[in-house]
Amino acid sequence: MEEIQNFKNNTDSLRISQMIIRFITSLSIFAVTVFFTPNFTISSFPILILSAIIIILFDYLVSIITGIHDIPLGRGLVGFTCAALIIYLTQFFVDGYYISITSSLIAAAIYGIIDSMLPNQK
């Protein structure tokens, strides 16, 4: 019984550290992505932080609901499509964040390329 509790505590702390690492990488990736993507504007640094938090939360919810990151295809076309949708839908929750549909596809590609170069969190 004690082993199960220790495992649960370790996975909870691992999940929190993964979220913090994901936040820092998302923040830096989106700072670069905004620069290179046309029709993608973020008005200020606090808006960039807020949008990174919203994107991480959406990504976390999608991964819980669909289990997309648990399947091999999750980092392929399905993951790309979900990332583009999450990036696009964030503009409806964050004031000062604007992106067009085509720019969200470009941003998801840039995000995916940079994210694939980072070490895996698992």
- Asked, for residue 74, whether it belongs to a domain, the answer is yes
Determine the Cα–Cα distance for residues 47 and 110; give it in Å rounded to an integer.
20
- Domain total in the chain: 1
Q: Are 53 and 19 within 8 A, CB to CB?
A: no
**pTM for this model (two decimals):** 0.70
pLDDT of res. 92: 92
Nearest Cα to Cα of residue 102 among 82, 89, 84, 83: 84
Determine the Cα–Cα distance for residues 122 and 110; give it in Å rounded to an integer.
22
Per-residue pLDDT of the chain (122 residues; tens, 9 = 90+): 566 555 555 555 556 777 787 788 778 878 888 888 888 888 888 988 898 888 888 877 877 787 665 544 455 677 788 888 888 998 898 888 898 898 888 888 887 777 677 665 54
pLDDT of res. 70: 52
- Asked, for residue 88, whether it belongs to a domain, the answer is yes
Two structure tokens written together for 13: 């702390």
Q: Which domain holds residue 69?
A: 44-122
pLDDT of res. 94: 87
| Cβ neighbours of 92 (radius 10 Å) | 9
